Amino acid sequence: MRRELCAMVAMPTLAWAAFCSAADKEEPRWVHSLCQALKATSNGPFVELADGGLLTIDKTGMRTSKDDAVTWSEGTTVCPGIAGGPPGRQEPGAFYVVRARNGTLVAIYLDFTTYKFRWDDRTNEPIDCCLEIWAIRSLDGGKTWTDRQRILEGYNPNFFGFIQTKSGRLIAAVPHLVPSPGRYVACSLFSDDDGKTWKRSNLIDLGGHGHHSGAMEPSVAELGDGRLMMLIRTHWGRFWEAYSDDDGLSWRTVLPCQIESTSAPGYLLKLASGRLALVCNDKTGRKDLLLYFSEDDGKNWTPAVVIARQKDGQISYPFMMERRPGELWITAGFAPTPLRLKVDESLLLAEAKKTPR
């Protein structure tokens, strides 16, 4: 889990112009010319409401926006521990909200009020670690919240996937720390009653040993044939992928992914066009942010398009949403300023297809 997070502030116009300069001019940040600055004043994650507005949650509470995340309402209390993080920062990948088809808002989150992390470097084993996953839901658009419950105990760091499938099932893909040897495994948490009750899948165990080893920080998407695909961060030079053909109840097919990566999470999203989009870091580190597309449910991927590059620092731990069909919002955190982009799917897809493999 990342230990640094800069303040989430809007990028000034002049700063954006400097960051969009050509990479060979040695500017601190380069952004692809096909990307536009997103005027949002939050990195999200966001969920679209019935009236077309957006909802997010931060340390002030639940907030809504009617102008594409530029301005926000005052925060209203949801519950203790949500949208938190260690003192002084809000952790990316720590909560998500889904608006179910019946209108119920369902949030799952890491509860930092009981956070503990102690690791024995001598034995390479966890000593005292706690970061639980909790859920809560609202039946009235966020005015009140109910059914708050712990849905996974133990230590469970950042996660990057929470969706509702065609069947109506809510699915979250999450990592979980296990001992002897200390490592991460992945699993899905699912609900068939809009977040009132929850169950857990089998564990996906890739092996490994260490506090950043194993199956970490997964993301999830539903494929065209109804299967689920989980994309899993590892420290072995590439993502791994897992598939479920029973709506997240079990994961039986697990294999290395085509896509090489550094040890950092990606964000996987099924688009209205039927394509998959993946935003992640370059295999050499966290200074390049890449965008991939797949037109055949992940069997093959386009060459990557570098959408942003950070000379000094990193742009990582991304979030992506399709605000409107073909309009992708991509945000990523960390030094020196958060990245917030608006991307046209068709333009970046055409660019990807022109990129040499």
If one counts every other C-beta atom within 10 angstroms of the C-beta of residue 328, the result is 23
Q: Which are the contacts of 134, defined by CB distance < 8 A and separation ≥ 6?
A: 81, 82, 108, 109, 110, 111, 148, 149, 150, 151
Distances (CA, A) of 36 to 79, 123, 213, 331: 35, 48, 36, 12
Give the pTM. 0.91
What's the pLDDT score for residue 335?
65
Q: Quick one: pLDDT at residue 83?
A: 83
66: exposed, middle or buried (C-beta count within 10 Å: 0-12, 13-18, 19+)?
middle
Both tokens assigned to 264: 């950092």
Q: What gap in Å lies between CA 182 and CA 185, rounded to an integer?
A: 10
DSSP assignment, residue 9?
Answer: -
- Domain map of the chain by residue range? 13-354
Query: Which class for 73: exposed (0-12), middle (13-18), buried (19 or more C-beta within 10 A)?
Result: middle
| CA–CA distance, 104 with 141 (Å, rounded to integer) | 7
Distance from C-alpha of 139 to C-alpha of 107, rounded to nearest angstrom: 12
**Ranges of the chain with pLDDT below 70:** 1-26, 86-90, 335
Buried b (16+ CB within 10 A) or exposed e, 221-252: bbbeeebbbbbbbbebeebbbbbbeebbbebe
**Cβ atoms within 10 Å, residue 154:** 14
Question: What was the pLDDT predicted at 88?
Answer: 55
Looking at the structure, give the CATH architecture of the domain made up of residues 13-354: 6 Propeller (2.120)
CA separation, residue 219 to residues 111, 273, 329 (Å): 19, 19, 17
Distance CA 193, CA 137 (A): 11
Query: Looking at this protein, which amino acid is placed at residue 53?
Result: G
Place of tokens 């109804």: 226
* Residue-wise pLDDT tens digits, 252-265: 999 999 999 999 99
In one-letter notation, the amino acid at residue 337 is: T
Please tell me the distance from the alpha carbon of residue 302 to that of residue 291, in angstroms, as a whole number. Answer: 9
Write the pLDDT tens digit of every residue in 10-44.
Answer: 333 333 433 443 434 557 899 999 999 999 999 99
pLDDT of residue 10: 34
**Residue from 260, 273, 258, 252 nearest 234 by CA:** 260
Query: What is the reported pLDDT for 92?
Result: 81
CA–CA gap between residue 136 and residue 108 (Å, rounded): 7
Cα(267)–Cα(289) distance, integer angstroms: 11
Q: How high is the pLDDT of residue 127?
A: 96
Q: Are 283 and 237 in contact (CB under 8 A)?
A: yes
